Amino acid sequence: MLSLDKADLKNKKVLVRVDFNVMPFTPREPRIINSLETIRFLMRKKARVILITHLETNEGKIPSALKLAKWMRERYFRKLIFVPDLIGDKAEAAVSRVKPGEILMLENLRIDPREKACKIVFAKRLASFADIYINEAFAASHRNHASIVLLPKFLPSYFGFRYEQEINVLSQAFKPPHPLVLILGGGKVDTKLPLLKAMLPKIDKALLGGVIANKFLEKPIIKSPKIILPIDVVRVGDKIWDDGPETFKEWKKIINKAKLVIWNGPLGFVENGYVKGTKTLVLILAKTRARVIIGGGDTTDYLPKKLPKNIFVSTGGGAMLEFLVKKTLPGIEAIK
């Protein structure tokens, strides 16, 4: 793996793929905060920084990156330049004017359908703007999109500092210390089951909450003595909306014996305010001596501002799950 801190960056045009697809934009957003080290390093090294990101709402709307650029300018980079163009003549001209140590943001990648369609002609045009490519978008690296998997074919490529950290920390799960406890919640059962199946031989216990626990309580999808289901729950009618206090008394005993805990997905129907279970688990994890890895956007929404040093919060949700199952991602393979 090539190290970014040894790269020749001075006066180079550096295309940095970030994942700032977080709306509304908030100062606590990990994906933005965790990319700042790489961006600021490039600026100190007098690189010409060109930021690219995708933005798309849950409803499928593709907004301009203008509001994001203004927000970034107000909080982090007062002289950030924005051009309302992606690969056209305006973008090319703006890139040519960027001076060493300056930062330019191009328009939203998804305004061009060839980004998601992973078209070479689109990637070649984007690559022509730069001398070096950096992927600092771990959370988007499970996607076969042009800016993730094709740009490294045309430019010398590196991982950002946070991206490297994600790989190193998550790789602890492949040769883990024991006891290893896996905690799964959230609503996307189809993405959690492959992880559960892949990790069952390695883990000591799997604590299930959220929708995946409901499914197992209805009918065991996988039978294993390692799988621990809630022993009491909060019901609304005939539906389970959160885990109960007795469950967490038992889980606390298991967690306190662990050396590594991996958690993905909130435990209750958090969209309707049933967050007590998730917050209770956060308190338990904050007091354990185990190394804790937490991922998933919905999960991280309920974490406090300050966390103990034993807790690592991954910027990836789906990317974290896929990496833990496959031990790699399309974005990693593109640069390796």
Answer for the pair 317, 329: CB distance below 8 angstroms, yes or no. Answer: no
> Tens digit of pLDDT per residue, the chain (336 long)?
677 998 999 999 999 999 999 877 776 678 899 999 999 999 999 999 999 999 999 899 999 999 999 999 999 999 999 999 999 999 999 999 999 999 999 999 999 999 999 999 999 999 999 999 999 999 999 999 999 999 999 999 999 999 999 999 999 999 999 999 999 998 888 889 999 999 999 999 999 998 899 889 888 899 999 999 999 988 887 778 899 999 999 999 999 999 999 999 988 888 777 889 899 999 999 999 999 999 877 777 778 778 889 999 999 989 999 999 999 999 999 998
Tell me which residue of 205, 26, 15 sits closest to 95, measured CA to CA: 15
- Tell whether residue 271 is among the known ligand binding residues: yes
- CA 275, distance to chain mean position in Å, is 22
Annotated binding-site residue? 296: yes
60 is in an annotated binding site: no
Provide CB contacts within 8 A for 225, sequence distance 6+. none
* Contact in structure between 243 and 237 (CB atoms under 8 Å): no
The DSSP code for 132 is E
The secondary structure element, H or E, covering residue 196 is: helix 189-199
Sorted by where each starts, the structural domains of the chain and their CATH numbers stand as 4-165 (3.40.50.1260), 174-326 (3.40.50.1260)
Coil/strand/helix, residue 298: helix
277 is in an annotated binding site: no
The dihedrals phi and psi of 82, each to the nearest 5 degrees, come to -120, 140
Cα radius of gyration rounded to whole Å, the chain: 21
Is beta strand 291-295 parallel, antiparallel or unpaired with respect to 103-105? unpaired
The neighbouring-strand residues paired with 260 are 180, 291
Is residue 298 a known part of a binding site? yes
Identity of the amino acid at 88: G
